[in-house]
Structure 1
């Protein structure tokens, strides 16, 4: 995905001018990641709001037993980051790593605020972004508390058809709140149906 494609995606969500977009690209830091490279580790003080240009990132939490709990998978034009750490200036509770080679744009809190202040149309863009993220989060909570494992898996595949080809099964199982072994059994059962 190129800058022009990112600009088009932005414009679908808000009426951004070329000057608005140029300012975004001035403020956002571009970086590349190798597969399995961490962008943020739990406890990091320097955290960013992350726009994924290409590749796949996983945001996760590690519990006291060192079990990885996948919180989110992000692909092209997804945003991720520990918003609590970014906006409340404390160490990150989460880690973010690349599951594939990836290219991302990073906004720290200061540049995020500067972008919104100097180009207020971004406030509308981010409001829509956060609104959609909250809706998606609420739907995920409902799935987690009311769906069977099979229903969760089928919904995951429906919502994220390409991810199963990219993301290791152990992370998909973690995201769904089941063991990798149970997910394997479930997939075998579905394949036989």
Structure 2
């Protein structure tokens, strides 16, 4: 298990002793995921939060008619879960799948609770992480209300520059709340303006 990326992620907000680092790493489980494999399915109990080591993951909601709405993408150095269901240990509202061969480090809810007791500074780390996630979602909601589809696409490219080339047009469109055909029109218009 290569732990350098996750330790760098943690060190942005808290400092750990060697003993604390060892204990934290002992609670993680590495999982390799094949393309299109899920690590969480809607209605399944959400037991883990995952840190992306490599690859790209997508969290989406599937409505009763079978329409997918992408909630988020996760690239290396990002955390992903169905946060509400993870915290409250409820059946998931989201499905999380790998868009390509990926590796994640997973932390189970019961181990997170142990971590809070043994290394209390992790409460600060996860509080900051959840605050940042809340801010991202609030800004995304405001973008959806105030920006045109084209402006939302540009914001998407800024937010996920490394993933944009590795995600299908259909998945990007479902994240933006538009049809793949309309996204194709936006991309064609963008290419023309860049070429002129």
In structure 2, the partner of 1:192 is: 192
Matches within 5 A, 1:108-187: 108-187=108-187
In structure 2, the partner of 1:101 is: 101
TM-score (norm 2): 0.94
In structure 2, the partner of 1:83 is: 83
CA distance in 2, matches of 1:2, 1:26: 13
In structure 2, the partner of 1:59 is: 59
**Cα displacement (A) at 1:77:** 1.6
Instruction: Provide the alpha-carbon RMSD of the alignment.
Output: 1.3
CA distance in 1, matches of 2:80, 2:8: 20
TM-score (norm 1): 0.95
| Count of aligned pairs | 193
In structure 2, the partner of 1:6 is: 6
CA distance in 2, matches of 1:28, 1:109: 11
State which drifts further: 41-50 or 137-146.
Answer: 41-50
Gaps of 5+ in 2: none
CA distance in 1, matches of 2:16, 2:126: 12
Cα deviations by residue, 1:67-117 (Å, 9 ceiling, x for unpaired): 111001001121111122122222111100000111111122111111111
Gaps of 5+ in 1: none
In structure 2, the partner of 1:23 is: 23
**Cα displacement (A) at 1:46:** 4.7
CA distance in 2, matches of 1:90, 1:10: 26
